[in-house]
Structure 1
């Protein structure tokens, strides 16, 4: 990843956490209480809040849920707005697996290696 891409990601992360801090302030949620709800040390939450460390998705989604932000619903609304169809994860997964099953062995193994690499990050 280029330095510029990394800088942009960190800048967006700082903006997001600034908004999270503002929502917490408006809701009367203390950083310490939020850390406890997410099973984090207050010092770790402070690093996130001050933009020192980028919060990963597996922590960010529960944090947004606590604040009442339903990311899944917003994505569904965006899909509808764009004229797309809502599909269940299972339906999508079944279609992908069916397509993988039709690939020749070499392509299937290559794809599975890519999935394995992406899943390990």
Structure 2
């Protein structure tokens, strides 16, 4: 046997296994999920097999399809933390400086996440 056969599942693999289970319980077929995400079923299969990681914008869409309120959970977490991470002096400037150094694809991904979290 090779080393790969002893490889433990990654956190992403475990997450996608839970997504598959939720889809199964909800009666959502892989093809229907792929259609909803505007991707090929073969691409969805690669995600489900853990061979390819899903982009954050697709992941947010997928969780929305499954009825997971990511925005609500994030708001709850921020409330639990007292919002301190967002209120720390200079935090906004440091975040903007970091974003400014990212490539265009990553900037667009962050903007999509901000738009999703900011929309109500």
Bucket of the pairwise TM-score, normalised by the shorter protein:
0.5 to 0.7
Extract structure 1 runs of 4+ deviating beyond 4 A: none
> Residues 96-107 of structure 1 correspond to what in structure 2 (within 5 A)?
96=92, 99=93
What CA distance in whole angstroms lies between the structure 1 residues aligned with 2:104 and 2:13? 25
1:65 shift after superposition: 0.3
CA distance in 2, matches of 1:119, 1:75: 25
How much has 1:54 moved relative to structure 2? 0.7
Q: TM-score, normalised by structure 2?
A: 0.66
Residue in 2 aligned with 1:117? 102
Deviation at 1:56, TM superposition (A): 1.3
Q: CA RMSD in A?
A: 2.8
| Pair member with larger Rg | 1
Cα distance per residue 1:71-111 (max 9 Å; x no partner): 111011111122227x7xxxxxxx94xx58xxxxxxx9xx4
Gaps (5+ residues) in structure 1? 1-6, 88-94, 101-107
How far off its partner does 1:118 sit? 4.6
Partner in structure 2 of residue 55 of structure 1: 54
What is the CA–CA distance in structure 1 between the aligned matches of 2:59 and 2:33, rounded to whole Å?
12
Q: Shift of residue 58 of structure 1?
A: 1.3
Aligned residue pairs, count: 94
Note if contact 1:13-1:55 (Cα within 8 Å) is conserved in structure 2.
Answer: no
After TM superposition, the score normalised by the length of structure 1 is 0.65
Structure 2 runs not aligned, ≥5 long = 1-6, 107-120
